[in-house]
Structure 1
Amino acid sequence: MSEPRPTPPPRWRLTVAQTGAIVVGFLTGAAGVVAGHADVVVMGLPLLALAAWAWDRRPRAADELQATDASLAAPAGAVLTADRTASDRGIGYRVRFDTAPGIEAVQLRILELGVRPRVHMLAAAPSRPIDVRGRVPAPHSGPQRIVSVDWRQVADGAALITDVSAPIGVDRTLAPAFTPIAALPLPLRLTGLTGSHDSSRPGDGGDFHDIDRFRPGDRLRRIDWKATARLARDPSELYVRRTRAQADATIFIVLDSADDLGENVDTWAVFDPTESGTTSLDIARSAASAIAAGYVRQGDRVALADLAVPGRTARPGAGSRHLDRVLRAIAATDASGATRLTRRPPLVTPGSGVFLLSTFLDDHPAASALQFAAAGHRVIAIDVLPPANLGALTPSRRIAHRLLMMDRENRLAALRRGGVDVLPWGLTVDDPERDAALLALARPRHPSLAVSR
């Protein structure tokens, strides 16, 4: 948690009514002077006197606000806190406002998820803090501004008011819901020396490989006496039963964070978190987490890269601590809005398997997938575009969406022709059809890649 940062005290000003009273008082006095009527001049003096009296009675104590990463606190100011995690009912928050002497009311504006403002005009008392509680739905995973608050204070019978304060807010990074995948498609070549998968080279620990003559270095317990009796042509010949060595796999998860598109196509132009429905990055975070957890729990190495932001990477690693780092990095992925000129395919370890997660609405992700496949990697393209809801679209926008989807289907067909497996992920965490597709992809393409169960 960072050190508290002081903020400037509020600046008081007269309300519109008081400003109008001053203008009317001056005009009345000026009119009385010009007309030579003292009674008219006297009529304007009370308005000016009341405005001066109100300004003189403005609160003198400066409000000093102190900010931290998660909350704000001050002797006279706002404290904003929120739950650390989301529940089925969303994320609860609390706004506490301690007022200084002389403050009669506080106008709070609470902005939930950036699109749902709520304005409260609350009476204030120095001995009774203002306390407002609420709950924000959590429709999406990833980093987001949960709630934001600004305020202004009212004094002296609504004659004085402060400027609107700088907003304070609470940000949260919500982890996606996921279930680790059980069927693990393997890369074309296993490079590790230990692991849970059977490799193509002979060694200890795996399934049956073949029967061959005894050579220096073979273990005596490997001698197959039945095969020796059947195959030996000389009394000195011995035959051993050889098994496959076990190895691990290296998996690269490549996320395309260039855009975040929801089910409601009408929100693609202007994103609305409350109306968009499940978005492509919601699906991508869930899919990437499920893939990472499945492979790491099997003992394989997993790396993470962002196709749109080169700096968002996690090197290949294994173990529970590495899995925690990868899951936190996945949860923190947000839409970058990167253009094609700023996106570069990441460097991938030779012999790795690549999962590329994208909406494939432009050529760059598809070109990167084909580039990985041409380099000898096994590539599985995860389609994370949610099903489209076209209910709010105009006819012209429906035609534009149809043309965009036709172009996208051509792009996915080109991936299949290029040797890339395409797998739609879907909206639900548990999907039997997706599990069946993963199981089909996990079947060995070559006998040397049989997966031990």
Structure 2
Amino acid sequence: MPEWRPQRMVTRRLGTWEPTAAHQRAIVLGAAGAIVAVIGRRADLLVIVAPLVVAALWGHLARPRSEVTGTARLGDTTFREGSVTGVRVTIEPSPPEVHGIVTLAQAPWVERKPSSGVVELEDGAATLGVRSTRWGRRRVGTVGIALVSTWGAFRVGPVDLPDLASATLPVPAAFDASAPTPHPRGIVGLNRSNRPGSGSEFNTIRRFHPGDRLRRIHWPVSMRTGTLHVTSTFTDEDAHVFLLVDCFSDLGPREGIDGHPTSLDVTVRAAGAISEHFLRSNDRLTLRTVGAAEVPTLGVGSGTNHLRRVLDTLAAISPATENRDTGDRAIRGVDPNALCLVLSPLIDPTMVGLAHTLAARGMTVVVVDTFPDHLVTDTTDVYQSLAWRMRLLSRDSEVHALRLRGVPVVPWRGPGSLDQVLRDIARRASAPRMARR
């Protein structure tokens, strides 16, 4: 399957100018009326058909003689949910006294401005507004161009240009965590280490040693004791966060950013929010998906550029396109000291099994429950409500089994969702453990 690429600009020749039916009708009626007026010596009939003859002759003499090329350009090929961009349509060359319209076909999850999708060309150009209401990769819509010359004598089109393609990135949900990330190992993050070193968090005041920076000198203590003292700090470290995203199902009606979210909407936006939080803290992050085909592989990275790659990967998800995926490939080669966050509505048993597998390997696993509550509360169908009750009872037993294994299951509630569980994990990691000698 060819690699998907955004399509910013498309161009197509609109073809040759052809006479319209009105122009042909004016020629036929004008010629026939003139002949009948001359043969029948009817001056009044000649006066009647004279405007048709003049319009046909004028339209023929003023017809455009150059072939026209239409171009459509998309303002942004990558933007966020709910953002608006423009489609700029131009024709070259722009013949004088030529009128035209541009149409934009309706596409899923794309709102047109104006809503009719029809605008008139002015000076050979026109602009339409486009608003994407849901994340993903999609076609913006087919652009059609139709041109007519003076008196509607000649026309080109309507001609459809190739479709423009764009990627809509998910808008990360509001998320923040004040708890530290467990198992920090690197040297560039913002997590406090237990080892002294170059950092930002105060440790103690000690005697000056060769190699200490002069700006670390603590002058009050140095003046009081008569010897140089410096302030020491704890080193700052980064942690490795592993995100496992469930793409097996997309539960609920797809209403876009303006309506209720589906389970996959909650999962993708939560993954974006968590990624943004940890990457802005200089932690390292890995993203893997289960149940979606043709999703690019994303390695370990950090920083703003890696966040953009994470959002691009989330936008490429197509739900339930790889139902035979067991997830073994997704969890292969995971850092044993990584914080494993499994984002799933816990409907497909495969994700529950993967959480058990990661926990059995001795990794730190947290399951983030992204099941939207409105799927159950807004149900009006009695049979659908009964089916949900039966499925949720089975789901509760699976969640209970995870908790018995020591895997916390945290419902996604935005900011602060992971604070308590991360504090508990950090406290558990720092607690003394029994070891064999």
Fold match (TM-score > 0.5): yes
The residue aligned with 2:182 is: 186
The residue aligned with 1:252 is: 242
Give the aligned residue type for 1:329: V
Contact 1:354 1:379 in 2 (8 A): yes
Distance 1:164 1:57 in 2: 22
Shift of the alpha carbon at 1:363? 1.1
Shift of the alpha carbon at 1:341? 0.9
Q: More deviation in 332-341 or 163-172?
A: 163-172
Give the percent of matched residue pairs that are identical in Structure 1 and Structure 2. 21
SS of 2:343's partner is: strand
The 1:179–1:133 alpha-carbon spacing in structure 2 relative to 1, beyond 3 Å, is: same
- For 1:406, which of 383, 387, 393 is the aligned residue? 393
The residue aligned with 2:369 is: 383
The residue aligned with 2:266 is: 283
The residue aligned with 1:150 is: 143
Distance 1:4 1:122 in 2: 19
Shift of the alpha carbon at 1:372? 0.7
Contact 2:182 2:339 in 1 (8 A): yes
Give the aligned residue type for 2:310: A
- 1:190-201 counterparts in 2 under 5 A? 196-198=191-193
Shift of the alpha carbon at 1:151? 1.5
Contact 1:185 1:438 in 2 (8 A): no
- For 1:340, which of 323, 339, 342 is the aligned residue? 323
- 1:27-426 counterparts in 2 under 5 A? 61-65=66-70, 73=71, 78-82=72-76, 90-98=83-91, 100=95, 103-111=98-106, 114=109, 116=111, 118-119=115-116, 124=121, 128-134=123-129, 136=131, 139-140=133-134, 142-145=135-138, 147-155=140-148, 157=152, 162-169=157-164, 171-174=166-169, 176-177=171-172, 178-186=174-182, 196-198=191-193, 204=196, 249-261=239-251, 265=252, 267=253, 271-273=254-256, 276-296=259-279, 300-308=283-291, 309=293, 312-318=296-302, 320=303, 323-334=304-315, 335-337=317-319, 338-345=321-328, 346=330, 347=332, 348-389=334-375, 391=378, 394-426=381-413
Distance 1:2 1:170 in 2: 5
Contact 1:357 1:384 in 2 (8 A): yes
Distance 1:132 1:395 in 2: 48
Shift of the alpha carbon at 1:388? 1.9
Give the aligned residue type for 1:325: H
- Name the count of aligned residue pairs: 355
Give the aligned residue type for 2:243: I
The 1:360–1:132 alpha-carbon spacing in structure 2 relative to 1, beyond 3 Å, is: same
The residue aligned with 2:204 is: none
Distance 2:16 2:345 in 1: 49
The 1:441–1:285 alpha-carbon spacing in structure 2 relative to 1, beyond 3 Å, is: farther
The residue aligned with 1:212 is: none
Shift of the alpha carbon at 1:360? 1.9
Contact 2:337 2:363 in 1 (8 A): yes
Distance 2:271 2:351 in 1: 16
Distance 2:432 2:311 in 1: 29
SS of 2:116's partner is: strand
**TM norm structure 2:** 0.62
Give the aligned residue type for 2:141: S
Contact 2:243 2:288 in 1 (8 A): yes
Q: More deviation in 158-167 or 283-292?
A: 158-167
Deviations 1:298-323 (A, max 9, x none): 554322222235864433345x3xx5
* Alignment root-mean-square deviation, CA: 4.9
Give the aligned residue type for 2:124: P
Q: Structure 2: which 5+ runs fail to align? A: 1-5, 30-48, 202-208, 210-233
Is 1:9 the equivalent of 2:4? no
Shift of the alpha carbon at 1:376? 1.2
Deviations 1:224-270 (A, max 9, x none): xxxxxxxxxxxxxxxxxxxx999754321122234444xxx3x2xxx
Contact 1:180 1:293 in 2 (8 A): no
Distance 2:385 2:66 in 1: 59
The 1:110–1:101 alpha-carbon spacing in structure 2 relative to 1, beyond 3 Å, is: farther
Give the aligned residue type for 1:354: C
Q: Structure 1: which 5+ runs fail to align? A: 26-45, 66-72, 208-218, 220-243
